Structure 1
Amino acid sequence: MSDGKAEAGGPLLLGVRHHGPGSARAVRAALEEARPGVVLIEGPPEADPLVALAAEEGMRPPVALLAHAVDEPGRSAFWPLAEFSPEWVAIRWALEHGVPARFIDLPATHTLAWTADGGDDGEGDPSAGDGVRIDPLGALADAAGYDDAERWWEDAVEHRGTGEGDALAPFTALEEAMTALREEYGSGGHRRDLVREAHMRLRIRAARRESADGVAVVCGAWHVPALRRTATVAADRALLKGLPKVRTDMTWVPWTHRRLSRTSGYGAGIDAPGWYGHLFAAPDRPVERWLTKVAGLLRAEDRTVSSAHVIEAVRLAQTLAAMRGRPLPGLSETTDAVRAVMCEGSDVPLALVHDQLVVGDVLGEVPATAPAVPLQRDLARLQRRLRLRPEAAQRELELDLRKETDAGRGELLHRLRLLGVGWGEPVVSRGGTGTFRETWRLRWEPELSVRVAEAGVWGTTVAAAATARAEADAIAARGLADVTGLAEHCLLAGLSEALPTVMRVLADRAALATDVGHLARALPALVRSLRYGDVRGTDTAALAGVAAGLAERVFVGLPPACAALDADAAEEMRCHVDAVHGAVGLLGDASAPGHGRLRARWQSVLRTLSARDTVPGVIRGRSVRLLLDDGELAQEEAARLMGLVLSPGTPPTDAAAWIEGFVGGGSGGGLLLVHDERLLALVDAWLTGVPAEAFTDVLPLLRRTFSAYEPGVRRTLGELVRRGPGARGGGAAAVTGAPGFAPGPDTARADAVLPVLRLLLGPGGDDGAARDGLARVTG
């Protein structure tokens, strides 16, 4: 068996597992013992000028080296490093001892060009490539009789101490094992490794010529046999001849433990970065310290976990390790102990432990002096000014747009979304529906650094880049709805400089559009945009004229477009009618020019739709309902129209569709039937009179109509139908004294609530005051 140095003056090859805490501890011990004059690390040489930043106060791992093509920033690759990564330990040791540290892998300029030429590098994986690559750790675990490579690695490396005078032993053993694997599998189905290793050998030769104090090389254990192998300079240069190139920039970016758990960068995704970070940082008794962390997390979630639980979990983990023939408890033993003792056999709290501790939401930091595109620097400045720090953990942010800081935060998040940087996702606000309130779900992912670099082609500041992107998107938009949505986005993002271009394109598209459906889809977003000026102080005057013109075109084209539609098209058109109705109401509230005339024109359109036999029943019913809600149709007239539709001469399916339009679709129709006994009596009489042979045809539509009601509304309707009016059928059916259907108020039933009102009004309340209060409540 060879030792760590092949011969006197030869390179010290330290084969490691990327992101392995055991390898990291062993690297530190080996470097302390060997004291090399140069430390060489597997990684892109373009990062050599960035090494010194690792010593700055603002650098906190996990971080990653990010390389991207200058002309195509979306083409990128990451080299992640955690605190427990051997490469990071080697960099820090070199900086602390004043020793040069350099990267020796294939330059990123070739790696990124290789990706563009058809290689599937995966997610920023510079070591991916052709063929099926074997898993070296999996092969060694299988040879040792293990069915789990992670468990074998823990037993062989993580649970093995590095004693004095024994610093090189783990590297010697790994080199011997990898040599056997390379003899058996060659490049392991990865031909690009041969090119990478040729470049590494050239860099090692150059470093050995420069340093008289020896050279240490920290690289994946898989590469050690190839770097040890003797090869001529000419042969290595021949492998590198003619490689494609692209112009490349490189910097440090923050990384997360969650991203380390995926196979990326060095191709060494680990399932438990939080666990590995704990093993690396724990000075002693790692199992006891880990289970204490778990107990603290569970207590924070209001679970009862005592010191006795921790002691018993430690004992169980140690017992399981002994029974399984392991030197120390590993993650599987501690997980089983936590499930049995602290979680009482439940996997629900165990999932929380896995998410928060085994993986974790640790987000690294990089110093402000790290190279960055101008857009990234402007974004960092805005984040500081608005006190909006990137975080790896998902969180919700409530914004009150009446406050200057919150308004700025909302504008920033909207601008980033327009640029394709999805840091925040808007969600429905729990606090209300006013236009002054916004709720965002935030989570910063490392890939967003790439998206920021890509967006840098649009401008050097977030505002300028978002404006340029909005103008370009408006010109390239295919549909009218896309342009109106973009106008809405510009107002949300406060991009007033982009609005003239967007509005010009919007006016041109609106003038050419002939499809009423497209116009109806575009109008609501356009009208919603008029509302944002109230809170954001945006001038929306230009939008009002376009919206009014668009509404007029919808009014003209809607009645012909609603004729002779099948069921699906009729339902879609009903949604358009609802949307236009809401938009017209907002136009009036926004004080659009001629809004009174627009309201009158729209009500005329609804009357036309409600009276035409060629219009599907679902649209006619909806038109009647909208007129009734606006007070433009008397209840007696609505009851008359319903009575006509539900008469025996109308096909049952058409009548059911009319009912769906009138009281269906989540429009509050259930409450309308609860409070208007005439309409309920009409529906009840019609439903009980539907012939048996037609009932199966109308049942699905009726089920959809009434199943949308709230449970309480359905229950009340059932009670009313069970009691029933005394007379059924006929226009405004005469009703008898059945409970709930009396022609006037039932004073006896009303008096039943007086004791409660007296209690609410206080000791001084009398029956007269209570009755007055009841009258005010009931209107």
Structure 2
Amino acid sequence: MTGVEAAGSSGWTGGEPLLLGVRHHGPGSARAVRAALEAARPRVVLIEGPPEADPLIPLAGDPEMRPPVALLAHAVDEPGRSAFWPLAEFSPEWVAMRWALEQGIPARFIDLPATHTLVWQSGTGQEPAAAGEGDGGEGDDREAGPGAGAAADSGAAGDSAVGTEAEGDSAVGAGAEDDSDGGGAGPRTDVRIDPLGVLAEAAGYDDAERWWEDVVEHRGPGREDVFAPFAVVEEAMGALREVYGSGGHDRDLVREAHMRLQMRAAQREFGGGVAVVCGAWHVPALRQKATVAADRALLKGLPKVKTDMTWVPWTHRRLARASGYGAGVDSPGWYAHLFAAPDRPVERWMTKVAGLLRAEDRSVSSAHVIEAVRLAETLAAMRGRPLAGLGETTDAVRAVMCEGSDVPLALVHDRLVVGDVLGEVPQAAPAVPLQRDLARVQRRLRLKPEALERELELDLRKETDAGRSRLLHRLRLLGVAWGEPVMSRGSTGTFRESWRLRWEPELSVRVAEAGVWGTTVLAAATAKAEADATAAQGLAEVTALAEHCLLAELPDALPAVMRVLADRAALDADVGHLAQALPALVRSLRYGDVRGTDTGALAEVAAGLAERVFVGLPPACAALDADAAEEMRRHVDAAHTAVGLLGDGPAADHGDLRGRWHTVLRVLCARDTVPGVIRGRAVRLLLDDGELAQDEAARLMGLVLSPGTPPADAAAWIEGFAGGGGGMLLVHDERLLGLVDGWLTGVPTEAFTGVLPLLRRTFSAYEPGVRRTLGELVRRGPGQRGSAEAAGAGTPGFGPGLDAERADAVLPVVRLLLGLDGAVEAAGAEPAGVT
């Protein structure tokens, strides 16, 4: 007789361990575990999880601890090698932990220590012969199921968790179907099963989550016997393991051997009275009568790594299976609601949905809520379900509150069904010094981490916003991508920045990794910048780093970066590299202006770099193929913009940089050895700066488009000249448009297919309105615009003069808009002041 069977018949005696098999992150399991613990009153609670976290258990009772949270284990010497054990308020392990703290009895974790699982996770350690779970996530910060370490309970995607619920019925995982041949040859060990799916299919369901709701969440533990459901679960899991053995996960056998040893030790220490909360998949193995010697043999010689553990905030979104977390659930927000609102859950849920939609300016009334509840309950009755579940409530919301549209329904799914809840951990939780400094700076700048993505507009003229900008740039330099710069929707001045912020749990790992560079954000970013400058491979990398140092305001790092920059610039003879590096330096000068940073040394380097570009660019542009010419054309554009800013800024006292640059452009546009795309762009840049008269530009274009120029070369010239700028140059200068039109109509048929791709690339970049105007001008013929004799002359799309009859027709509307007397008078009776 099993422990739960004995408990179910006459109350738990405490002799055998009370094994409570659960589904990780199952609210029904959580309620059933609390009920079972209340009835059994054990002397110690053992929980599936890494034993290194035992000292952290008391923090679960801290008032500042708010789930979802996760245990984070990382290798001391390699913080990037890490694993998470997420826990939500509705996780059975969390409920068991909190119950033990409330009762003042010990709670301990008994899974395989993280010191071993982190080695397995990295793929560098030895593991059992048939184990083969992949990383299932982002590799070095892969999530584990509660207590599952790097190898969560059996399932798909490499680390799906298996567990089941109090009504006896569920298990989470995914994988192959039951393809046992039933030949009695022993359990299958080469098949990864989905216990939840197997049990649901046996019950006649094609949707495992729907089955789970019906048999567990909508029924709850039996009042007569709180232990009986766990006996049913154990029986079901035992049957599955008879067929599938370890389910293809031999490392589970090692974990279960460790858990059995810990159970025996607790039995000896407390003389019985041991309750165990674990994934239901493990229950049959923990009940197994294995010898101590056999269990120790499985654990002998396991590789180790020195490990630290702490609590970190987690999010509902990362509890979702869709995030790649194998032990996750489909709807953590819905499950949290079921756990927090056991009475009238449908009514409370519809009220939440209505509040969300109202906040998004959708018209949702109390009548909508009432009707949605009625529809959900009716759908549940028609479908033979005990209560309305997520499927029924979703269908009701779509029909009643969303008017049949899936667009607002997607918002409900994202914000409520999944959710963006971010947990909190107390300040007393262990943390690396860098993490503590980051938290201190976040509080000072009133920049709280949030799971919901949001945009932040900063005005760098304000001290607080400038401090926020510095922090975000320093974190990016450290590889902690909490914020991502985006284009500002308002002012484009250098004093304004826009960021997209979103805190992800993995960033805690990045902070731990960055702790090797220093104990504060400023010190760590400074050290990292200096190291990156020394290790940089190219000049562009160093110039970008100099830009980052100014943005992050790292005055101690900037001199070291500038020394490396000067050395690399002096040694690099590639004009392309120099031209690529120049824009970043000039942007840095502009950033320095708004931040009040001394950029004198940077201006010296930028001016010297510009001079080397001036000298080396003409010969570097000779004899280039099409791809190299296009790349060089981009460098010319970037250098042109940079020189324009540089000549007006801190480097203005370095001579007439802009004048010397214009001389370089004249050389480029006159050399036949320079590819057409570069010559055309040089002409265009000179024309835009007023250094070339339109008549001269037309003459140069006429020469290029003469019959003696190969069509491909002429097309490349046009691409360089007319590309960019939105095409407005051709709209306003019909002489240039006429030259292009005349040349194009004269291209021989055999050459047309060769130049067409270039022309399409040029003109397809224009706005539709510009292309339409150009087409109208070409249809009328160049030189006809503005001619009173030509049909359709005047502004494109309009007649040659005023149409008095049509103009008079709008006068009544004008009077009405202006509030003038006599709005009903005849159109010809014009009030004073209206013409």
TM-score between the two structures when normalised by the length of structure 1: 0.91
User: Which of 456, 462, 469 is equivalent to 2:521?
Assistant: 462
What residue number does 1:200 align with?
Answer: 259
Which deviates more from structure 2 when the two are superposed, residues 524-533 or residues 112-121? 112-121
Q: CA 1:502 to 1:600, structure 2 compared with 1: closer, same or farther past 3 Å?
A: same
- Write the letter of the residue equivalent to 1:12: L
Q: Secondary structure at the match of 1:431?
A: coil
1:305 aligns with 2:364: yes
What residue number does 1:616 align with?
Answer: 675
Structure 1: how far apart are the matches of 2:685 and 2:615? 18
What residue number does 1:387 align with?
Answer: 446
Which deviates more from structure 2 when the two are superposed, residues 29-38 or residues 1-10? 1-10
What residue number does 2:55 align with?
Answer: 49
User: Which of 53, 65, 89 is equivalent to 1:59?
Assistant: 65
How far the C-alpha of 1:136 sits from its partner, in A, is 2.1
Which deviates more from structure 2 when the two are superposed, residues 15-24 or residues 205-214? 205-214
2:69–2:424: 8 Å Cα contact kept in structure 1?
yes
Structure 1: how far apart are the matches of 2:98 and 2:506? 25
Structure 2: how far apart are the matches of 1:409 and 1:32? 49
1:513 aligns with 2:572: yes
Over residues 504-562 of structure 1, what are the superposed CA-to-partner deviations in whole Å (9 max), with x where a residue is unaligned?
A: 11112112212221111111111111111111111111111111221122112211121
- Write the letter of the residue equivalent to 2:151: A
User: Which of 36, 41, 56 is equivalent to 2:42?
Assistant: 36
2:42–2:273: 8 Å Cα contact kept in structure 1?
yes
Over residues 39-98 of structure 1, what are the superposed CA-to-partner deviations in whole Å (9 max), with x where a residue is unaligned?
A: 111111111111111111110000000000000001111110000001111111111111
User: Which of 72, 77, 80 is equivalent to 2:78?
Assistant: 72
Identical aligned residues as a percent = 82
1:713 aligns with 2:770: yes
- Write the letter of the residue equivalent to 1:382: V
CA-based RMSD: 2.9
2:622–2:674: 8 Å Cα contact kept in structure 1?
yes
Which deviates more from structure 2 when the two are superposed, residues 566-575 or residues 27-36? 566-575
- Write the letter of the residue equivalent to 1:667: G
Structure 2: how far apart are the matches of 1:8 and 1:676? 95
Q: CA 1:580 to 1:686, structure 2 compared with 1: closer, same or farther past 3 Å?
A: same
Structure 1: how far apart are the matches of 2:421 and 2:27? 17
What residue number does 2:407 align with?
Answer: 348
**Structure 2 unmatched ranges of 5 or more:** 7-12, 126-131, 137-141, 153-157, 159-189, 821-835
User: Which of 335, 350, 373 is equivalent to 1:314?
Assistant: 373
- Write the letter of the residue equivalent to 1:634: A
Structure 1: how far apart are the matches of 2:260 and 2:745? 89
Structure 1: how far apart are the matches of 2:392 and 2:283? 33
Q: Secondary structure at the match of 2:204?
A: coil
- Write the letter of the residue equivalent to 2:302: L
- Write the letter of the residue equivalent to 1:720: L
Structure 1: how far apart are the matches of 2:595 and 2:150? 49
What residue number does 1:766 align with?
Answer: none
Over residues 565-604 of structure 1, what are the superposed CA-to-partner deviations in whole Å (9 max), with x where a residue is unaligned?
A: 2222222211111111111111112231644432222111
Which deviates more from structure 2 when the two are superposed, residues 136-145 or residues 11-20? 136-145
Equivalent residues in 2 for 1:633-644, closer than 5 Å: 633-644=692-703
User: Which of 453, 457, 471 is equivalent to 1:412?
Assistant: 471
Equivalent residues in 2 for 1:252-651, closer than 5 Å: 252-262=311-321, 267-592=326-651, 594-651=653-710
1:146 aligns with 2:205: yes
How far the C-alpha of 1:115 sits from its partner, in A, is 2.1
Q: CA 1:390 to 1:11, structure 2 compared with 1: closer, same or farther past 3 Å?
A: same
Q: Secondary structure at the match of 1:275?
A: helix
Q: CA 1:529 to 1:750, structure 2 compared with 1: closer, same or farther past 3 Å?
A: farther
Q: CA 1:426 to 1:271, structure 2 compared with 1: closer, same or farther past 3 Å?
A: same
Structure 1: how far apart are the matches of 2:554 and 2:35? 56
- Write the letter of the residue equivalent to 2:578: L
Structure 1: how far apart are the matches of 2:491 and 2:613? 31
Q: Secondary structure at the match of 2:321?
A: coil
2:3–2:17: 8 Å Cα contact kept in structure 1?
no
Structure 2: how far apart are the matches of 1:447 and 1:343? 35
User: Which of 679, 693, 702 is equivalent to 2:759?
Assistant: 702
Which deviates more from structure 2 when the two are superposed, residues 579-588 or residues 513-522? 513-522
TM-score between the two structures when normalised by the length of structure 2: 0.85
How far the C-alpha of 1:450 sits from its partner, in A, is 0.4
- Write the letter of the residue equivalent to 1:376: Q
How far the C-alpha of 1:3 sits from its partner, in A, is 5.3
Structure 1: how far apart are the matches of 2:787 and 2:396? 70
Over residues 131-150 of structure 1, what are the superposed CA-to-partner deviations in whole Å (9 max), with x where a residue is unaligned?
A: 65322222222222222222
Q: Secondary structure at the match of 1:525?
A: helix
Structure 1: how far apart are the matches of 2:246 and 2:5? 23
What residue number does 1:124 align with?
Answer: 143
1:105 aligns with 2:128: no
1:127–1:267: 8 Å Cα contact kept in structure 2?
no
Q: Secondary structure at the match of 2:745?
A: helix
- Write the letter of the residue equivalent to 2:63: E
What residue number does 1:775 align with?
Answer: none
1:127–1:265: 8 Å Cα contact kept in structure 2?
no
How far the C-alpha of 1:182 sits from its partner, in A, is 1.9
2:735–2:783: 8 Å Cα contact kept in structure 1?
no
Structure 2: how far apart are the matches of 1:10 and 1:151? 34
Q: Secondary structure at the match of 2:639?
A: helix
User: Which of 248, 262, 266 is equivalent to 2:307?
Assistant: 248
1:208–1:214: 8 Å Cα contact kept in structure 2?
yes
Structure 2: how far apart are the matches of 1:9 and 1:544? 80
**Structure 1 unmatched ranges of 5 or more:** 729-733, 764-779
Structure 1: how far apart are the matches of 2:404 and 2:750? 56
Q: Secondary structure at the match of 1:243?
A: coil
- Write the letter of the residue equivalent to 1:4: V
Over residues 662-700 of structure 1, what are the superposed CA-to-partner deviations in whole Å (9 max), with x where a residue is unaligned?
A: 121x224x2222333332333333333334443333333
Q: CA 1:727 to 1:121, structure 2 compared with 1: closer, same or farther past 3 Å?
A: closer
How far the C-alpha of 1:217 sits from its partner, in A, is 1.1
What residue number does 1:776 align with?
Answer: none
What residue number does 2:164 align with?
Answer: none
How far the C-alpha of 1:244 sits from its partner, in A, is 1.1
How far the C-alpha of 1:286 sits from its partner, in A, is 1.4
What residue number does 2:734 align with?
Answer: 677
Over residues 107-149 of structure 1, what are the superposed CA-to-partner deviations in whole Å (9 max), with x where a residue is unaligned?
A: 1111112223256343232252896532222222222222222
Which deviates more from structure 2 when the two are superposed, residues 685-694 or residues 270-279? 685-694
Q: CA 1:325 to 1:561, structure 2 compared with 1: closer, same or farther past 3 Å?
A: same
Over residues 470-517 of structure 1, what are the superposed CA-to-partner deviations in whole Å (9 max), with x where a residue is unaligned?
A: 111111111111111111111111112111121111112112212221
Structure 1: how far apart are the matches of 2:246 and 2:697? 81
User: Which of 667, 674, 696 is equivalent to 2:725?
Assistant: 667
Q: Secondary structure at the match of 1:532?
A: helix
How far the C-alpha of 1:723 sits from its partner, in A, is 3.7
Q: How many aligned positions are there? A: 752
2:453–2:500: 8 Å Cα contact kept in structure 1?
yes
Structure 2: how far apart are the matches of 1:722 and 1:180? 81
User: Which of 83, 88, 93 is equivalent to 2:99?
Assistant: 93
Q: CA 1:749 to 1:28, structure 2 compared with 1: closer, same or farther past 3 Å?
A: same
1:135 aligns with 2:194: yes
How far the C-alpha of 1:740 sits from its partner, in A, is 7.0
Which deviates more from structure 2 when the two are superposed, residues 324-333 or residues 39-48? 324-333
Structure 1: how far apart are the matches of 2:44 and 2:643? 74
- Write the letter of the residue equivalent to 2:228: A
Structure 2: how far apart are the matches of 1:510 and 1:474? 13
How far the C-alpha of 1:213 sits from its partner, in A, is 7.0
- Write the letter of the residue equivalent to 1:92: R
2:47–2:109: 8 Å Cα contact kept in structure 1?
yes
